[in-house]
Amino acid sequence: MHWTSFYRRSRHINGRAPRQRQFLHAGPRLHRKSPRDGRSRGPAGGERMSTAPARRARPPLPLQNGAEGDDEREEEVDEEEVGDDEAEEEEDDDDEEEPRLKYQRLGGSVPAILSTDAAAAIAVADRMVALGTHNGTLHILDFQGNQVKEIAAHTATINDISFDADGEYIGSCSDDGTVAINSLFTDEKLKFEYHRPMKAIALDPNYARNYRRFATGGLAGQVLVLTKKSWGGYHKKVLRDGEGPIHSMKWRADLLAWANDAGVKVHDMRTDKGIAFIERPKGIHRPEFLLPHLVWQDDTVLVVGWGTSVKIAAIRTDLSQGLNGLQRTITTASSEKYVDIVGSFQTGYHISGVAPFGDLLVVLAYIPDEDEKEKTFSTSVTSRQGTAQRPEIHLVSWKNDELTTDALPIHGYEHYKAKDYALAHAPFSGSSNAGGQWAAGDEPLYYIVSPKDIVVAKPRDAEDHIAWLLQHGCHEKALAAVEAGQGRTELLDEVGSRYLDHLIIERKYAEAAQRCPKLLRGSPSAWERWVFHFAHLRQLPVLVPYIPTENPQLSDTAYEVALVALTTNPSFHELLLTTIKNWPPTLYSASPVISAIEPQLNSSSMADSLKESLAELYVINGQYEKALSLYAELLKPEVFEFIEKYNLHDAIHDKIVNLMIVDNKRTVHLLIQHRDIIPPYEVVEQLLHTSKKCDKRYLLHLYLHALFEIDIHAGKDFHDMQVELYADYETRMLLPFLRTSQHYRLDKAYEIFAQKELVREQVFVLGRMGNAKEALSTIINKLEDMQEAVEFVTEQHDDELWEELIRQCLQKPEMVGNLLEHTVGNLDPLYIVSLVPDGLEIPRLRDRLVKIVTDYRTETSLRNGCNDILKADCVNLLVKYYHEARRGVYMVSMDEEVHGNRADDGSSRGHERSSSVRALDIKSRTRCGARCCLCFDPLPIQDISVIVFYCCHAYHLSCLEGGLDSMRSNSGQDSDGGMDDEDGSPSGQSRMRCVLCTTAAS
């Protein structure tokens, strides 16, 4: 099924001349379901309508009635204007308005019905469509045109059809003079004979609940209202008579409107009073050829289209002004309600039907030829010359602001008159104010009926809007509409593809690339297709930043093609490096990209970014040594972490200088740490002969200094060079180096120090060379530092040097004074004073002598005090030794020792035993054939416990305890129990003593 926008003429709101445009169909569409019964609201199986050349705007028919309201007439277009040039046509395309409606021929059973009959009338209910034919048959159709029911209601042309509000009853009237009312869901049938052609019928909206009431009229000129009586039969009431044939009739709520030759009248059926009369437009001499068309927009607004006039009447209940500032005094028979004409305008065409479109109007226009106009108003003979124009659908406001105009290619339109067409619409709710969009199921359907054709018009939906935007190059607006949810999700792919095609055609490659993530979303195939397309156009670098690496993930070939494309131009090398760092290495193979870069490696114009990119690719490919060479060449700070991470210490032999330039401290540490792999001579050789711009001597100094601190002999071959480097960069380290190293030449070092006037270093070298007197002379004459001179002489341990020091100092009085100050403890000051010639004036001599005497006294006092302390310490230590020597050491066998260790540690004897075990050297002595000093038996300590004293006397434990008991009994009377023993222990505590030593002492 295809909905089509036909050739149309667009009139802007601002009143510019209308233009005619052709619009393509919007493609296949799904049917919408009716909110009431779930049936499809769109026709199915219909024929896609072809288009025909659009016609030019014609001048309106002359207006003779002078009706009030805003009259807007189209200006006549000269034939010469048809030949506008191409530039004007392009400008018209830019100003073209989007159509509001789309069209389709009603299919289903309709083509078969109209092939043998002709359509005469149509009515639309909520759930069905009723089609009346010239043969008098009623066809009940669904919204797809499929016949549901067929009713043989009449024998002649059906002029009018009416449904009740519930869609359960249908009424029809015919030229055969009959009115038929049928129930659509039961067998109930009614038929009324009036013997005159009946032209209009209107069922009460509450027909089933309101006594089967309906109204009808025809050529007899009577407006009849029939109501079923409670006891049977129908009561007939004539509302109006004698004003000519009844041409049209519509019933809404309690209001019944009909049109006769005099005009349109509105009757209140609730109060049974007339409300208003709207006069027939002037200039319509034969109303049967230009029929009036009545439609209720809602319960209070009636739209009247008649001839070339449209009037909108509002039913009001008070005397307020009408809408749009229009107020009309209408003759009315009721003081409760009246009619206010709120809109009125003239058209340039004959009106064949009118219907509401939200707050707008849909008008079916019949365009007569000039000759046809004259015949229409001058004779009653119908002309069938086949010169009629296509009927048109005009979408206009109440002020006749024409929004769109569509020409319909109705079958056989050349032979039809205005009265041969009819327009009906399905009941709907909602408004077109919100951008012309309707909720699903609420959009109105319009049926344009001709004798052999039925076309269904429908408001264009969001997808139609998107298709129109794409067709007219408004891709951004179409994309925004899709993203806003105004169409199926699947449309995003189509819109995105067409948008990208448009940008590529416009050569807006960067913008197209920027749009790709949003337009291509998660489709791997779409991404790959556009990657190769950009590559074909040689514009792939602009797309690379937007290529996804996950969700979706593309093929490895797509990523490789993208990376290779970035290697071709130096302006893309920075992007190449960024891309390689950002893309996971598992996405692609690095080998093709490496192969594309390596031929440029020896080029002098190769950018650093390309080298770094190649290094990153080498890392991905596992070629770490090649990557290290590039990192070192690029002086990358992270090269040290790279070396440690991949253990590349063997690969840095030829990269020492570059590493030094990057970070000399880290490089020196690395070289020192791995000096077994990179020998010092190799480092020195590279640094000495490098051609790179760097302070190679300073770098060499740093390396040799660090090497010397770690291993003083590792760089011994370069100590002569190191002396010079210290002299240049770090003189404070010279003396420690000179004192430590033995691998430098003294004469060469002296020349360097003399050249750089490093006096202290000269002194040290002279001293090392054995020329102490010259060194001393240098200290005195150049440094004039007596303390250093004294220290130097002291270190030499040469008495003659002291004499030389005194001799040289005597030549300078000031130096004599300094010598007196610094020789205390080294030389006798009196000796120095005795050598001073008489009459030699020495500055501050008295103060210095006082200081010497004071220092001497202080030194003497300190010496005496130290001697006293030393003597006291010696006495105390001897006493302590004596007491300790009197104590015995308990020696036990190994078995007893183990048993003693398991015993309770609380006893004093156990404590003494545990302490005696540690005296291993004394225990070894007792094993050398020693004997007990009491029993004179040998001392086998394996089985018998032994006591050994520091006096080297040894006893059996049993012998010693017996001897001591006898000694205590003899001397117990003379001892004072409260006195301490000689060793300081209380007398209450039993202490073992050597029997022989104790006896001798007593």
The domain segmentation of the chain, as residue ranges, is: 101-318+335-372+386-432+440-460, 653-744, 751-843, 846-879, 931-961
Quote the percentage of the chain above a pLDDT of 70. Answer: 73
Cα angle: 229, vertex 231, 233; to 5 degrees: 50
Does residue 573 carry a pLDDT above 80?
A: yes
Higher pLDDT: 942 or 748? It is: 748
What pLDDT is recorded for position 869?
A: 93
- For 800-819, write each residue's pLDDT tens digit: 777 777 777 776 766 766 66
E runs forming strands in 600-743: none
- Look over the chain and give the mean of its residue pLDDT values, rounded to a whole number: 78
Does residue 307 carry a pLDDT above 70?
A: yes
Cβ contacts of 268 within 8 Å, gap of 6 or more? 254, 255, 274, 275, 334, 336, 337
Does residue 310 carry a pLDDT above 90?
A: yes
Does residue 348 carry a pLDDT above 70?
A: yes
CA torsion 368-373-375-380 (nearest 10°) is 80
Average pLDDT over residues 138-147: 94
Annotate 96-128 with DSSP letters as a single string.
Answer: PPPPSEEEEE--TTHHHHHHHS-EEEEEE-SS-
Distance CA 671, CA 652 (A): 9
Q: Which residue in 669, 668, 725, 657 sits closest to 693, CA to CA?
A: 657
Distance CA 247, CA 796 (A): 148
- For 89-132, write each residue's pLDDT tens digit: 444 445 577 888 999 999 999 999 999 999 999 999 989 999 99
Categorize the per-residue pLDDT at 81 as very low, low, confident or very high, splitting at 50, 70 and 90. Answer: very low
Q: 251-255, 487-491, 651-655, 787-791 — which is least confidently predicted?
A: 487-491
Report the relative pairing of strands 158-163 and 246-252 from DSSP bridges: unpaired
Report the relative pairing of strands 169-174 and 178-183 from DSSP bridges: antiparallel
Please count the residues of the chain. 1002
Do the beta carbons of residue 263 and residue 278 sit within 8 Å?
Answer: yes
Does residue 755 carry a pLDDT above 70?
A: yes
Categorize the per-residue pLDDT at 242 as very low, low, confident or very high, splitting at 50, 70 and 90. Answer: confident
What pLDDT is recorded for position 475?
A: 83
Cα atoms in the Cβ-side hemisphere of radius 13 Å centred on 460: 23
Q: 342-356, 743-757, 851-865, 973-987 — which is least confidently predicted?
A: 973-987
Average pLDDT over residues 360-384: 65
What pLDDT is recorded for position 603?
A: 79
Higher pLDDT: 545 or 430? It is: 545
What pLDDT is recorded for position 472?
A: 84
What pLDDT is recorded for position 33?
A: 34
Higher pLDDT: 782 or 895? It is: 782
Higher pLDDT: 33 or 685? It is: 685
What pLDDT is recorded for position 489?
A: 67
Higher pLDDT: 917 or 551? It is: 551
Q: Is 143 left (phi over 0), alpha (psi -120 to 50) or beta?
A: alpha
Element (H, E) at 458: strand 453-459
Distance, C-alpha 989 to centroid of its chain: 91
Distance CA 640, CA 652 (A): 10
Distance CA 611, CA 385 (A): 86
- For 836-880, write each residue's pLDDT tens digit: 666 666 776 666 677 777 777 787 888 899 999 999 999 999 988
Higher pLDDT: 956 or 187? It is: 187
What pLDDT is recorded for position 6?
A: 47
Does residue 763 carry a pLDDT above 80?
A: yes
Does residue 628 carry a pLDDT above 80?
A: yes
Distance CA 380, CA 623 (A): 102
Average pLDDT over residues 776-782: 77
Element (H, E) at 560: helix 556-566
What pLDDT is recorded for position 290?
A: 86
Cβ contacts of 999 within 8 Å, gap of 6 or more? 967
What pLDDT is recorded for position 817?
A: 62
- The total of other beta-carbon atoms located within 10 Å of residue 280's CB is 22
Cα angle: 357, vertex 247, 275; to 5 degrees: 75
Tokens of 241: 């008579």
Using alpha carbons, list the distances in angstroms from residue 91 to 78, 88, 870: 19, 5, 123
What pLDDT is recorded for position 966?
A: 63
Using alpha carbons, list the distances in angstroms from residue 178 to 19, 162, 193, 481: 47, 14, 5, 54
Does residue 267 carry a pLDDT above 50?
A: yes
| Cis before 552 (ω within 30) | yes
Average pLDDT over residues 327-332: 43
Distance CA 842, CA 679 (A): 60
What pLDDT is recorded for position 933?
A: 83
What pLDDT is recorded for position 255?
A: 94
Q: Which residue in 279, 262, 418 sits closest to 351, CA to CA?
A: 418
What pLDDT is recorded for position 710?
A: 92
Distance CA 756, CA 750 (A): 10
Cα atoms in the Cβ-side hemisphere of radius 13 Å centred on 439: 7
Categorize the per-residue pLDDT at 888 as very low, low, confident or very high, splitting at 50, 70 and 90. Answer: confident
Q: 178-192, 378-392, 459-473, 526-540 — which is least confidently predicted?
A: 378-392
Higher pLDDT: 327 or 531? It is: 531
Distance CA 971, CA 34 (A): 138
Cα atoms in the Cβ-side hemisphere of radius 13 Å centred on 49: 27
CATH top-level class of 101-318+335-372+386-432+440-460: mainly beta
Using alpha carbons, list the distances in angstroms from residue 495 to 407, 466, 690: 29, 8, 63
Do the beta carbons of residue 301 and residue 313 sit within 8 Å?
Answer: yes
Does residue 916 carry a pLDDT above 90?
A: no
Q: Which residue in 101, 126, 124 sits closest to 35, CA to CA?
A: 126
Distance CA 306, CA 286 (A): 12
- β-pair partners for 139: 131, 150
Q: What is the strand order of the sheet 129-133 is part of?
A: 119-124, 129-133, 137-141, 147-152
Distance, C-alpha 697 to centroid of its chain: 53
